[in-house]
Amino acid sequence: MQKEKWMVAGKKADFAAIGKKYGIDQVTARIIRNRDIIEDKTIDKFLNGTLTDLYSPHLMKDMDKLIAILKQKIQEKKFIRIIGDYDIDGIQSTYILLKGISRVGGNVTAAIPDRMKDGYGINESLITKAKEEGMDTIITCDNGIAAIDAIAYAKKLGLTVLVTDHHDIPYIEENGIRTYKESQADAIVNPKQEACGYPFSGICGAVVAFKVIQALYEAFDIEEKEVMDFLENAAFATIGDVMDLQDENRIIVKYGLEQMRQTKNAGLSALMLQKEVAPEKLSAYHIGFVLGPCINASGRLDTAVRSLQLMLADKIKAAALAVELADLNEERKVMTAEGVENAIALIEKEEIAQDSVMVIYLPKLHESLAGIVAGRIREQYNKPVFVLTDAEEGVKGSGRSIENYSMYEEMCKCQELYSKFGGHPMAAGLSLPKENVEKFRKAINANAMLTEEDFIPKILIDVPMPLSYVTKELIKELEILAPFGKGNPKPVFADKNIVVREKRIVGRNRNVLKMTIEDVYKNRYSAVYFGDAEGMMRFLEEKECISIVYYPEINEYMGKEEIQFVISNYC
């Protein structure tokens, strides 16, 4: 087992008073406080927030300017080209803009970059093609904020350019002073802009697109309830792009999931059917780990246009496309497993694990899988990881980080080594000449100020809670804290002096350990552990009693309900 540090969240509040005021258990009140939800207004919004709590799109800088330009172009019957991106967020953003602009009578088409040929976002070849095909206006989604040169080229060709994005604004830093790069775009809607007064900047590209269409419908006197048809797309992208499930994101996902459970979208229905996801049980987990990867797979191994076609398809076409995307994702899984295996072999051979920042060069890895492989290695070693691979022009790569290492800021310190780069604290992408790979490894490590303490995984426990305190009522109450995900993790509980009375490994892959556990009061309960079941079996042979990190759930079997504890960590 990897060395871990268990810590209890020690945030203080009058939990009894909070519990009484909102009719919740003190445990639930403590969890809410641990999420830094303190004031009455924010607690009420967290527990009872509705769609009326979503912020007005007009609070975003340039929103009214963009809508005025777009409305005029639509009324003048100008040809409009959407340029999206090849991931979940880019596909859902493109879908929202395409359907929304079409609804108000726009002459609109969409283009999604080819990951291998075009790379990320708007570029000169896509702009040239748009101009040759008679386009007057380009509107980006989930990209464009960093495309300074490409947009300058589009303006030179006489195109109107509207940017909708959510990524960080690119900057140059000299002597500790940041100068943000300026774009020639006619209007930019991005909540990350310095002068933007939008109250919550942590939204994804599809939510920005959703807000644009909300304002556009308003400009064309279309009822607001129509724009709510896109709530499920905004929610899907929020989960798929791993946004923090806080503030309005949480409301969008909560109500978007409800909408998806009875979706009218044939593509989404077909994908749920293909992946055997019961619509009534659909959760954020299914979007993140079952359906979302199928949408992403086309952009990785084929063309993301196929995923956009799924969203636009009728029932017959959707069924065939869902099969294709699911098959592509299975292929992607096999290739990813091989990539992880090769990465670990290289780490052990070249002693890369000794570096603070792991730079792994796998020339034959499919470039679209670099980020996934980097994520898997980061999980295993708990260090910042870059995975690099050969591409058409030099070397391309992706990085995945740990909490104490702001990847984008660290990359800025040696930006002279890249031909292209971008990202944020936890993830980044880069292109560089092959001869700079070793220079990059040395430079990124020379600048790293990480200590051994930073590499120890930390388990933050919400409440040390005896198993005997858990009731079915409490488990059902904990559901009001959902949807769970980044920024609103599933609560973490712990108990000690637990004796394992019975245990057996089950599952096709022998990765599930089913147990009967006993607490200090001699109460017995069902428990289950998912992961290295054989490793836990060996550990239990040496220990009389253990401490556990767990989450309680209600297990239904043959019409009977019982409390079951899902163990995530043990020592």
Q: What is the CATH number of the domain that holds 197?
A: 3.90.1640.30
What confidence category does residue 269 fall into, taking pLDDT thresholds of 50, 70 and 90? very high
Give the rounded distance of the alpha carbon of 67 from its chain centre.
28
E-only strand ranges, 9-157: 79-83, 107-111, 137-141
Distance CA 97, CA 504 (A): 52
Distance CA 144, CA 136 (A): 17
Distance CA 264, CA 231 (A): 12
Q: Could you tell me if 403 and 532 lie in one domain?
A: no
Q: Could you tell me if 413 and 509 lie in one domain?
A: no
> pTM (2 decimals)?
0.91
| DSSP letter string, 435-446 | GGHHHHHHHHHH
Q: Could you tell me if 407 and 512 lie in one domain?
A: no
Q: Report in angstroms the alpha-carbon separations of 413 from 12, 269, 393, 403, 429.
A: 39, 46, 23, 19, 15
Give the CATH number, domain containing residue 434. Answer: 3.10.310.30
41-55, 117-131, 522-536: segment of lowest average pLDDT: 117-131
How does pLDDT run across 349-367, given as a tens digit for each residue? 888 989 999 999 999 999 8
Residues with Cβ within 8 Å of 559's Cβ and at least 6 positions away in sequence, in order, are none
Distance CA 426, CA 404 (A): 9
200 HSE (CA, 13 A, CB side): 21
Per-residue pLDDT at 171:
79
Q: Could you tell me if 463 and 444 lie in one domain?
A: no
Three-state SS at 144: coil
Last residue of a domain, one of 230, 246, 277: 230
Domain-located, residue 179: yes
Domain-located, residue 295: no
Q: Could you tell me if 462 and 441 lie in one domain?
A: no
Whether the per-residue pLDDT at 178 is higher than 50: the answer is yes
Per-residue pLDDT at 508:
82
Per-residue pLDDT at 509:
84
Whether the per-residue pLDDT at 2 is higher than 50: the answer is no
How does pLDDT run across 523-557, given as a tens digit for each residue? 999 999 999 999 999 999 988 899 999 999 999 88
How does pLDDT run across 366-424, given as a tens digit for each residue? 988 999 999 999 999 999 999 999 988 899 999 999 988 999 889 988 989 998 887 77
Domain-located, residue 493: yes
Domain-located, residue 512: yes
Last residue of a domain, one of 230, 264, 290: 230
Domain-located, residue 311: no
Q: Could you tell me if 97 and 189 lie in one domain?
A: yes
Domain-located, residue 256: no
How does pLDDT run across 188-225, given as a tens digit for each residue? 999 999 899 999 999 999 999 999 999 999 999 999 99
Last residue of a domain, one of 230, 256, 279: 230
Instruction: Output the average pLDDT for the chain.
Output: 94
Per-residue pLDDT at 408:
86
Domains identified in the chain, total number: 3
| DSSP letter string, 460-526 | EESEE--GGG--HHHHHHHGGGPSPBTTBPPP-EEEEEEEEEEEEEESTTS-EEEEEEE-TT--EEE
Closest CA to 90 of 254, 311, 260: 311
Range of the domain at 222: 53-230
What confidence category does residue 255 fall into, taking pLDDT thresholds of 50, 70 and 90? very high
Q: Could you tell me if 202 and 117 lie in one domain?
A: yes
Q: Could you tell me if 188 and 92 lie in one domain?
A: yes
Three-state SS at 258: helix
Q: Could you tell me if 75 and 222 lie in one domain?
A: yes
DSSP code for 181: P
Three-state secondary structure readout of 347-378: HHHHCHHHCCCEEEECCCCCHHHHHHHHHHHH
DSSP code for 220: T
More confident residue, 509 or 291: 291
How does pLDDT run across 159-168, given as a tens digit for each residue? 999 999 999 8
How does pLDDT run across 293-336, given as a tens digit for each residue? 999 988 777 778 999 999 999 999 999 999 999 999 999 999 99
Q: Helices 88-103 and 231-240: crossing angle, nearest 10°? A: 160
Domain-located, residue 297: no
Domain-located, residue 270: no
Three-state secondary structure readout of 57-76: HHHCCCHHHHHHHHHHHHHC
What confidence category does residue 69 fall into, taking pLDDT thresholds of 50, 70 and 90? very high
